[in-house]
Structure 1
Amino acid sequence: MVYSVAIAGASGYAGGELLRLLSAHPEFEVRTVTANKNAGQPLVALHPHLRSYAGMVLQETTAEVLKGHDVVFLALPHGHSGALAAELGDASLVVDCGADHRLTSADAWEKFYKSEYHGSWPYGLPELLLPSGVKQRENLAGVNRIAVPGCNVTAVSLALAPGLRAGVVQPIDLGAVLAVGPSGAGKTLRTDLLASEILGSAHAYGIGGTHRHVPEIIQNLSGPGEPVTVSFTPVLVPMARGILATSTARLQPGVSAADVRSAWSLAYADEPFVQLLPEGEFPSVSDTIGANTALIGLMVDEAAERVVTVTALDNLVKGTAGAAIQSTNIALGLPEGLGLPVNGVAP
């Protein structure tokens, strides 16, 4: 069976990456692409690298245009998916690559996003280890709504969840500092994202618990009656795409380095898209560019009594479009990895 696909927000970075990956998917056919201010333009005018879509024209983003497809991907800015999704009905599988349906707490949404809350959808991070001991993929089969995680959230959640679920690290005083590329902010023209501003420099933002991804990280890592505390600091660096997340956690008393490595090894032993590197090895962002792969390096800092993880992923693939397609595969009963690359592009 071939599933018909529409992509709202196809002119942006996330939309473009969805298109690139879907071009190699044997079960999906992109039939409709939409945009807002770019409606009416040829798709390849916005994405000249996507030659297989020559001839497609961006239509206006409306529910009427999107209805009638088997799968609708919403690659829209935060705050723009909720109302549109409510008009689409239940006939289509709708996958939101924005933040509108990620948070289970209305209070957290209103505090960090300051707009109307549209509820939560099944969460599209299949490898996330839950407090019950199962993976989030168990909650995705057969659903018709999916909320794709934030890219930074993916890196931190995958980095720390195994230790928390195994009880080898403490839930308080988690830390994460991330080097991130500006493509995560989308194509919006902003002075702080201009090449002249970021080349040869690096600057932190969303400091002191103010970043919108903080409540999502807490949501993913907390257990029943055991909320986590996390200090999360992203740092914008001059690379077009990618995330390198250094995440740390306090060891529980009496836990050995062997216990720590065992927790992460068991969590990801059978995961093709999340791989724990051998002891003493740590990933670079370039190892993951173009791939739906997160690579994790792990070490115990004995003197500081902390676990240190270094996680690399492509924010536009495993951090967004790849996760969306992976979760969609599960929802439709297709092989989870169908159409998704494990190998990156180098140099």
Structure 2
Amino acid sequence: MGFRVAVAGASGYAGGELLRLLARHPDLSVTAVTGHSSAGRRLGEVQPHLRTYADLVLQETTPEALRDADVVLLALPHGQSGALADALPDVRLVVDAGADHRLIDETDWRAFYKGEWFGAWPYGVPELLTKDGKQRDALRGANRIAAPGCNASTVSLALAPAVAAGLVEPDDLGAVLAVGPSGAGRTFRTDLLAAELLGSASAYAVGGTHRHVPEILQNLALVSGHRGTISFTPVLVPMARGILATCTARLAPGATEQAIRAAYEAAYGDEPFVTVLPAGAFPAVEHTIGANTLLLGLAVDAAARRLVVVAALDNLGKGTAGAVIQSANIALGLDESAGLPIDGVAP
């Protein structure tokens, strides 16, 4: 038996990617889509690449438009999911792609976000290591799930095996990310215009001010029991979608390249969507576009005594919509890989 799905925020980039993946899902059927300024229009006018759902009419994003579904997927701006989710107590599963339910510490929320804190839901990164196993265990049978921030899940998965194995110092982590502007959503901003982006690159949220910093530290504390520190710098680059993260950490005494590779193979060797590349190989964003995959390349900078992990994923795919659907599959008892491609699009 299939499940009826409603997608809130279907006119945005994340909502559109959710619908693209749902179109091939064998067990999830889209019955309702909602938007804001696009309400009343056919989805095909707003998302012309989604021919499967072209005739669906976007409704206002209200509890009434969503509550008849078995599964509600929220692809809304930060601060808009909490109250709406509270008005859907009888919906079997709600997955929030926004930030409203990611942080377990209200102090973190108030330091990085505005508005009311609605508490934390189980975190939707199945492959993330925890003290007792993997985050997948917390998603089985869940009725509420917080999907991750795309930058946060990239960095967390890139560093977690080394942190968990005690092979790096958790108080000296670094990450510099090249990110595409689709991560900012489908909004009109001067810094996201082609004339501003093309031929350029610019850092933003520098100096520990990015909202994904507490999320990363929260995730890595799951594996170490210690909240470390990270210098996190995202750089906006002229590619529509994707993240290339160069993550580094100071090696712990006695750590070797062999031990590091063994830790990563043990963590991800059986995972269908996370691949550790062979020694000397490093990923490119283009190899992940359209796929629910995270690719990792490992190196040890012996002179600097640092681990270097290069991670690539599609921020709208594995970083957002793929994480939502993968987590929903687990919660509903479906095949975890249902509807999720591992093959990207090239060129």
Under a length normalisation based on structure 1, what TM-score does the superposition of the two structures give? 0.99
| Runs ≥4 residues deviating over 3 A | none
With over 3 angstroms needed to count, the CA separation of the structure-2 counterparts of 1:225 and 1:192, relative to structure 1, is: same
Match for residue 341 of structure 1? 341
Task: Check whether the contact 1:67–1:92 (CA below 8 A) recurs between aligned residues.
Answer: no
Give yes or no for the alignment of 1:313 onto 2:313: yes
Task: Summarize deviations over 1:53-74 as a string: whole Å, max 9, x none.
Answer: 1211100100011001110000
Q: Which amino acid aligns with 2:257?
A: A
The Cα shift of 1:92 comes to: 2.5
Match for residue 214 of structure 1? 213
Match for residue 77 of structure 1? 77
Matches within 5 A, 1:28-177: 28-132=28-132, 134-177=133-176
The Cα shift of 1:275 comes to: 0.4
Task: Check whether the contact 1:90–1:144 (CA below 8 A) recurs between aligned residues.
Answer: no
The Cα shift of 1:76 comes to: 0.1
The Cα shift of 1:3 comes to: 0.4
Match for residue 328 of structure 2? 328
Task: Check whether the contact 2:67–2:90 (CA below 8 A) recurs between aligned residues.
Answer: no
Q: Which amino acid aligns with 1:178?
A: L
Identity of aligned pairs, percent? 66
Q: Residue 169 of structure 2: SS of its match in structure 1?
A: coil
Give yes or no for the alignment of 1:25 onto 2:25: yes
Under a length normalisation based on structure 2, what TM-score does the superposition of the two structures give? 0.99
Unaligned runs of 5+ in 1: none
The Cα shift of 1:225 comes to: 4.8
Q: Output the CA distance in 1 between the equivalents of 2:30 and 2:290.
A: 20
Q: Output the CA distance in 1 between the equivalents of 2:15 and 2:47.
A: 10
Task: Summarize deviations over 1:12-49 as a string: whole Å, max 9, x none.
Answer: 00000000000000101000000011100110111101
Task: Summarize deviations over 1:275-332 as a string: whole Å, max 9, x none.
Answer: 0000000000000000000000000110000100000000001000000000000000
Match for residue 274 of structure 1? 274
Task: Check whether the contact 2:71–2:91 (CA below 8 A) recurs between aligned residues.
Answer: no
Q: Which amino acid aligns with 2:232?
A: F
Task: Check whether the contact 2:276–2:297 (CA below 8 A) recurs between aligned residues.
Answer: yes
Q: Output the CA distance in 1 between the equivalents of 2:226 and 2:183.
A: 30
Give yes or no for the alignment of 1:184 onto 2:177: no
Q: Residue 173 of structure 1: SS of its match in structure 2?
A: strand
The Cα shift of 1:254 comes to: 1.1
* Deviates further, 85-94 or 244-253: 85-94
Q: Which amino acid aligns with 1:309?
A: V
Task: Summarize deviations over 1:206-249 as a string: whole Å, max 9, x none.
Answer: 10000000000000011565211000000000000000000001
Q: Output the CA distance in 2 between the equivalents of 1:21 and 1:51.
A: 13
Unaligned runs of 5+ in 2: none
Q: Residue 324 of structure 2: SS of its match in structure 1?
A: helix
Q: Output the CA distance in 1 between the equivalents of 2:97 and 2:313.
A: 17
The Cα shift of 1:186 comes to: 0.2
With over 3 angstroms needed to count, the CA separation of the structure-2 counterparts of 1:273 and 1:224, relative to structure 1, is: closer
Q: Residue 168 of structure 2: SS of its match in structure 1?
A: coil
* Deviates further, 143-152 or 220-229: 220-229
Match for residue 13 of structure 1? 13
Alpha-carbon RMSD across the aligned residues, in angstroms, is: 0.8
The Cα shift of 1:119 comes to: 0.4
Task: Check whether the contact 2:72–2:91 (CA below 8 A) recurs between aligned residues.
Answer: no
Q: Output the CA distance in 1 between the equivalents of 2:267 and 2:224.
A: 20
